[in-house]
């Protein structure tokens, strides 16, 4: 094997880990200070800001996902045979959550403007009530249940990563707990108060940042004696 490949692979992992740190840390601040309320009465006066905040949150989720990828690239050999499945589920979960934020940012202000009652029911956990009282929502049929499937995917995908970390201990065990908390809370985000949702984002941000920092530090290329600079 070419001796430059391991070094380039290590650099790629370090870049992925480093890129994820700031977006991951920003996630709880996005939810706490930029997101705003979930109800139509909160969204209508600041529809443009609501949309912009969700776009920013979605991009942060996608960039934070590079930290998940770095975890698998760095520790896949210590994760066992379940590593490929876990990687696919975790990345799909992260991407689907980012997609949900994109959709929410565009669709929610429109629904809040044209049907504030349904919007409020839909985003306060009364999913069945919102569907029962809206012919428009009923017309979407089974498509309406995609968010439920995405929630299950997030719980399973991120939760599985947390369980693997707890069992294999290739990262400190509190990181596994943080991923479990993250998966459980954000998987049912609409059913919990916003301050609890902030805690879910904080758990994700801390877990990814902690992991990324360890990977970045451990993957620092060693200085090769033959490459030392010659001093006069």
Span 202-214, mean pLDDT?
97
DSSP for 26-74 reads HHHHIIIIIS--SSHHHHGGGHHHHHHHHHHHHHHHHHHHHHHHHHHHH
For residue 231, pLDDT over 50 is answered with: no
Model confidence pLDDT, tens digit, residues 11-31: 999 999 999 999 999 999 999
User: Using N-to-C axis directions, what is the helix angle for 194-218 and 47-79, rounded to 10°?
Assistant: 40
Q: Which of 16-30, 35-49, 194-208 has the lowest mean pLDDT?
A: 35-49
pTM reported for the whole predicted model: 0.86
Q: Of 162, 189, 167, 158, which is closest to residue 177 (Cα–Cα)?
A: 162
CB 138 within 8 A of CB 131: yes
pLDDT confidence of residue 200: 97
* Average pLDDT value for the chain: 86
For residue 227, pLDDT over 70 is answered with: no
Helix (H) or strand (E) holding 22: helix 4-29
134: confidence class by pLDDT, cuts 50, 70, 90: low
Model confidence pLDDT, tens digit, residues 141-182: 566 677 788 899 999 999 999 999 999 999 999 999 999 999
Q: Look up tokens 């984002």; give the residue.
A: 201
Span 183-195, mean pLDDT?
91
Cα–Cα distance, 184 to 7 (Å, whole number) = 37
Span 126-134, mean pLDDT?
64
pLDDT confidence of residue 117: 77
For residue 114, pLDDT over 70 is answered with: yes
Cα–Cα distance, 146 to 210 (Å, whole number) = 32
């Amino acid at each position: 094997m070419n001796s430059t490949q391991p070094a380039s692979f290590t650099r790629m992992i370090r870049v992925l880990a480093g890129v994820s740190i700031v977006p991951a840390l920003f996630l709880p601040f996005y939810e706490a200070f930029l997101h705003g309320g979930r109800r139509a009465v909160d969204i209508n006066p600041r529809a443009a800001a609501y949309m912009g905040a969700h776009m920013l949150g979605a991009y942060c989720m996608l960039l934070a996902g590079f930290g998940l990828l770095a975890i698998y690239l760095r520790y896949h050999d210590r994760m066992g045979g379940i590593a490929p499945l876990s990687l696919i589920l975790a990345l799909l979960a992260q991407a689907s959550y980012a997609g949900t934020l994109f959709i929410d940012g565009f669709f929610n202000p429109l629904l809040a403007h044209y049907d504030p009652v349904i919007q409020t029911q839909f985003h306060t956990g009364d999913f069945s009530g919102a569907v029962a009282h809206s012919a428009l929502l009923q017309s979407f049929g089974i498509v309406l249940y995609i968010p439920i499937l995405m929630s299950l995917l997030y719980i399973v995908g991120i939760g599985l990563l947390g369980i693997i970390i707890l069992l294999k201990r290739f990262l400190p065990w509190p990181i596994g707990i943080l991923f479990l908390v993250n998966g459980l809370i954000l998987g049912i985000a609409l059913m919990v108060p916003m301050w609890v949702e902030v805690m879910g984002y904080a758990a994700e941000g801390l877990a990814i940042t902690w992991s990324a920092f360890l990977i970045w530090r451990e993957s620092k290329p060693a200085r090769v004696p033959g490459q030392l600079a010659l001093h006069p």
